[in-house]
Amino acid sequence: MRLEDRVCLVTGGAMGIGQATAARFAEEGASVVICDVNEERGQRTAAGLGPQAAFYAVDVTDRQAVQGWVDDVVARFGRIDVLVNNAGITRDSQLVKFKEGQVVSQMSEDNFDLVVAVNLKGVFNCAQAVVPAMIQGGGGVILNASSVVGLYGNFGQTNYVATKSGVIGMTRVWARELGRYNIRVNAVAPGFILTDMVRQMPEKVLEKMRGRTPLGRLGDPHDIADTYLFLASDEARFITGAVIQVDGGLVLGT
């Protein structure tokens, strides 16, 4: 019961890594509050976590909605101990695709802005909203979802890589700024993880992913959830400003 009596927030908690993290935290005694834009899946996930869990329909790009969510959680539960900034999206395409002397496609400004809004600004919105409650409660833990592509880059992911690199930068800044308040801030950088979305990819693509991973398999959402659990617990009490790769030794290529 490593998170007993703690109130933990998980963004994007309806599915995938967020859902696995919420379940793992609940198993360890936490009161888990998830938010997501998928209300049906979010309600179902929260119902499976027990009576101490709650779901809120929140778009992390909406600053007022995020603040309202956090204020309501504090009023309802009395404190916030852990925030997992898990919500994220992809909108992949090349910066410029050139064929036979002409530009045939390029990443749209709308898709660049949308990914930045969710993956980077959303992390900023949620962290800034919870920090005052954590300070008043004597401390806390903020865990940010980055990616190995934020460290090494990846073909066709200018927008996504920019956000995941930015998350690492914000993590290190906040670790410096918030340590005096007993708030630890760390990032987790997953490799290829077998979420429901990834399972729908063609088998030849999955096999290529496995071939790049020295451990010979794709990650499971629970591999990431267990890492979040460790970082949220007192076992990681002297870890802050870190970026933990959970990738099976992944070697990225183009």
CATH number for 157 = 3.40.50.720
Range(s) of the domain holding residue 156? 7-246
Is the Cβ–Cβ distance between 252 and 187 less than 8 Å?
Answer: no
Among 57-66, 110-119, 211-220, the minimum mean pLDDT is found in: 211-220
Phi, psi of 137 (to 5 degrees): -90, 0
Residue 253 lies in a domain: no
Q: What value does the mean pLDDT of the chain take?
A: 95
pLDDT 10s digits, 11-57: 999 999 999 999 999 999 999 999 999 999 999 999 999 999 999 99
Task: Tell me how far apart the alpha carbons of residues 136 and 113 are, in angstroms, rounded to a whole number.
Answer: 34
Task: Reply yes or no on whether the pLDDT at 254 is more than 50.
Answer: no
pLDDT 10s digits, 44-99: 999 999 999 999 999 999 999 999 999 999 999 999 999 999 999 999 999 999 99
- The DSSP H or E segment spanning 243 is strand 243-246
* Per-residue pLDDT, 119: 98
- The b-or-e profile of 222-251 (16+ CB within 10 A means b, else e) is ebbbebbbebbbeebeeebbebbbbbbebe
* Of 97, 115, 118, 119, residue with least CA distance to 106: 97
Residue 251 lies in a domain: no
DSSP string, 18-80: HHHHHHHHHHTT-EEEEEES-HHHHHHHHHTT-TT-EEEE--TT-HHHHHHHHHHHHHHHS--
Task: Tell me how far apart the alpha carbons of residues 185 and 131 are, in angstroms, rounded to a whole number.
Answer: 11
Residue 2 lies in a domain: no
Residue 252 lies in a domain: no
- Strand pairing partners for 144? 85, 187
Residue 53 lies in a domain: yes
* Per-residue pLDDT, 185: 99
Q: Which residues are catalytic?
A: 160
* Per-residue pLDDT, 197: 73
CA atoms within 13 A on the CB side of 16: 20
119 by DSSP, 3-state: which?
Answer: helix
Phi, psi of 164 (to 5 degrees): -75, -30
Residue 254 lies in a domain: no
Residue 236 lies in a domain: yes
Domain count, the chain: 1
